[in-house]
Structure 1
Amino acid sequence: MGRRRELEAARVTEPGLRAAYLRCRSLHALHGRTYFLATRLLRPGQRPAVHALYGFARYVDDIVDEQLPDLGTAEVSRRLTEIGAALGTGLRTGTSTDPLLAAVVDTAARYGIAAELFDRFLASMRMDLTRTGYPTRAALTEYVHGSAEVIGLQLLPVLGTVSAPEEAAPHAAALGAAFQLTNFIRDVGEDLDRGRVYLPADELAAHGVDRELLLWCRRSGRLDIRVRHALAEQIARTRAVYRRARPGIALLAPASRPCVGTAFALYSRILDRVEERGYDVFSGRAAVGTPQRLTLAAGALVRTAWARTAGPHPPPATVEE
């Protein structure tokens, strides 16, 4: 019922296009638990576009992460090239018959999302085919720009702003980066299993940490004190990115603020959970518990209702670091 309501509110009527949006929505619901919960706080007509953008990113990311070991670099590279070509054609013509890309193309046309943002995303996904680590923060930032900052920029016209979009854009990009950097800290163990480290090697080395020590922690189930110190620094750096992103919430359209404020609060608290686990990112995922998630969502629902009925000045979103 909710799915039909969203598509009707977005005026998506063509059967093939509806199916594409629903496929993206399913990917979002399956893989993006935090984002999907926050998206429920948007107006129904906004949600299909968010599902399309997240679903596309997840679809491509899964090809790289899940299919690379079986298919090999050359085949995955070929598939990324095909996706990029099909998407590029769709963005130029304004239409696509692809069972997933059709929703992405439609969203880009509706909201005027620049094709180059998708190009940058695909470029970062290609980095994962050949790079297994990043020697410096600058090198990692290059990857994060394409893999995460551009997602924030894609979402900005969907969310709407009360300022000039270019004023809100740096904050939107920073929030995408903060979410990605949080993932990198939370998923150190899982990324090691794929042969990758997404923490700058020089910053780890300053604490006496290298890939071999991280692998030892993963295999032994023990946490070296040097790794604790390195992860504490990474968390501090990531919280600084959240602080750069935070002012952007007030620049969004009022109806979008509860959604983004909730995503901000939920995701930033993953860093708290890593600390509470003693920086153990090797034996399981740090996650925000269901009661806390529901409490945050309930407060956001009140702000959402206010934003939809009381005009342009809803109560501010509760955002804690």
Structure 2
Amino acid sequence: MTGAAEAYRHCEQVMRSRARNFSYGLRLLPGPKRRALSAVYAFARRIDDIADGVGTPHDRLAALAAARQTLEAAARAAHDGGDGGDGGADGHGGHGDGRPDLVLVALRDAARRYPVPLAAFAELIDGCAADVRGTSYATLGELVGYCRCVAGSVGRLSLGVFGTDDHETATPLADALGVALQLTNILRDLREDRLSGRVYLPAEDLARFGCTLDVDGHGRFTDPPDRLAALVRFEAARARDWFAAGMRLLPMLDGRSAACTAAMAGIYRRLLERIVADPDAALTARLSLPGWEKAAVAARALAGAAR
């Protein structure tokens, strides 16, 4: 039987290599919570990778359905206190060759230790299935619904690890912070997503600013730059509002959990402001913050939590 320590080490490596923005915040948590959240994010990353992976849409949707079954088995195992089948080829914890699934080992252990709402992963799977199908969004309300699935769900899962004395009030705030992060992701990846055939911004907003997000043979947007810049800044203002709502979560968390959340949100807010300052740059290349700037944001978050 593979031990939880080895499984958590694997998940933390996944975080460091695949989710660097989040990893800066996770470093601020005490060990047990850091490990539990690494398991949550490693499984979320797996779901994202299925949606963005190779294969036909039918194949990827089938893989997402299998992930849903795996999740349900993991939830039952965590609830019952069993091992859920770490090996085997049944899709409930093994790779099919007898090797244990380290991410699931860690996730089940985390769910036994903390009230992680594993059912929220089902919403993430729903959102990723929409990506595979190429779903577009007519209205802001539809887009927010998608954001709640793919990112608000992760906010709620994280809250299960962080803990709070007022879960009823804190849950929608964690959800709002997830929406803010996802809206920022959408603006950061606008060109990359369009080249892969995905358009997330609501059709009503495109019409409002006279934009189509069509691209030419060189992958450049054909809309007038001033209209695109206005559209990006309009959407960024909405993301700011979601950040403002979500940041009300911080006083409801313990110091280290608040620092972790502030670091994650701070990195994305800084990225959002960079997009707003130069929409043209964001529309031609994927913007990111240098490591030293992310580390500085995390350090300020930790210092603020210590006050």
Does the TM-score normalized on the shorter chain lie above 0.5? yes
Structure 1 residue 132: Cα displacement: 4.0
Cα distance change of structure 1 residues 183 and 218 upon mapping to structure 2, 3 Å threshold: farther
The superposition leaves residues 41-79 of structure 1 with CA deviations (integer Å, 9 ceiling, x where unpaired) of 111111111111111111110111122xxx101111111
Deviations 1:136-170 (A, max 9, x none): 11211221111111111111121122x31111111
Supply the distance in 2 between the matched residues of 1:296 and 1:204 (Cα, whole angstroms).
Answer: 33
Shift of 1:16: 4.0
Tell me whether 99-108 or 238-247 shows the greater mean CA deviation.
Answer: 99-108
Paired with 1:178 and 1:187, the residues of 2 have a C-alpha distance of 14
Tell me which stretches of 4 or more aligned residues in structure 1 moved more than 4 Å.
none
Pairwise CA distance, 1:217: 9.9
What pairs up with 1:219-298 in 2 under 5 angstroms? 219-220=219-220, 224-298=225-299
Give 1:254's aligned amino acid: G
Q: How many residues align?
A: 287
Evaluate the alpha carbon distance shift between residue 139 and residue 221 of structure 1 in structure 2; reply closer, same or farther with a 3 A threshold. Answer: closer
Shift of 1:302: 3.6
Partner of 1:93: 77
Q: Matched residues in 2 for 1:63 and 1:153: separation?
A: 21
**Cα gap change, 1:299 to 1:285, in 2 (>3 Å):** same
Taking the aligned partners of 2:235 and 2:15, their CA distance within structure 1 comes to 28
1:154 is the counterpart of 2:157: yes
Shift of 1:176: 0.9
Q: Distance in 1 between matches of 2:202 and 2:218?
A: 18
* Cα deviation, residue 27, structure 1: 1.9
- Which residue number in structure 1 is paired with residue 133 of structure 2? 130
Distance across 2 between alignment mates of 1:218 and 1:37: 35
Cα displacement (A) at 1:255:
2.4
For residues 244 and 44 of structure 1, what CA distance do their matches in structure 2 show?
A: 28
Unaligned runs of 5+ in 1: 1-13, 307-314, 316-321
Q: Distance in 2 between matches of 1:135 and 1:106?
A: 40
Give, in whole Å, the separation in 2 of the partners of 1:27 and 1:51: 8
Contact residue 173 and residue 245 of structure 2 kept, 8 A: yes
Residues 18 and 62 of structure 1: CA distance in aligned 2, closer, same or farther (over 3 Å): same
**Correspondence list, 1:1-321, <5 A:** 15-67=2-54, 71-94=55-78, 95-96=83-84, 97=86, 98=93, 99=101, 100-161=103-164, 163-212=165-214, 215-216=215-216, 219-220=219-220, 224-303=225-304, 306=306, 315=307
C-alpha contact (below 8 Å) 1:40/1:47 kept by paired residues: yes
Report the Cα distance in structure 2 between the residues aligned to 1:297 and 1:150, rounded to whole angstroms. 23
Where 1:219 maps in the other structure, the secondary structure is coil
Deviation readout 1:206-246 (Å, 9 max, x if unpaired): 0001132xx24972377621111111100001101001111
Cα RMSD, aligned residues only: 2.0
CA distance in 2, matches of 1:20, 1:282: 39
Cα 1:113–1:291, aligned 2, differ >3 Å: closer, same or farther? closer
**Equivalent residue number for residue 3 of structure 1:** none
Deviates more, 1:88-97 or 1:44-53: 88-97
Q: Contact 2:44 / 2:121 at 8 angstroms: preserved in 1?
A: no
In 2 relative to 1, CA 217–273 (structure 1 residues): closer, same or farther, beyond 3 Å? farther
SS in structure 2 opposite 1:22? helix
TM-score (ref. length: structure 2): 0.87
Give the letter aligned to residue 229 of structure 1: A
CA–CA separation in structure 2 for the residues paired with 1:201 and 1:101 = 39
Distance 2:180 2:128 in 1: 18
Q: Residues 178 and 238 of structure 1 are in contact (CA less than 8 Å); yes or no, is this contact kept in structure 2?
A: yes
Q: Is this contact kept in 2: 1:189–1:283, CA < 8 A?
A: yes
Distance of aligned partners of 1:245 and 1:87 in 2 relative to their CA distance in 1, 3 Å threshold? same
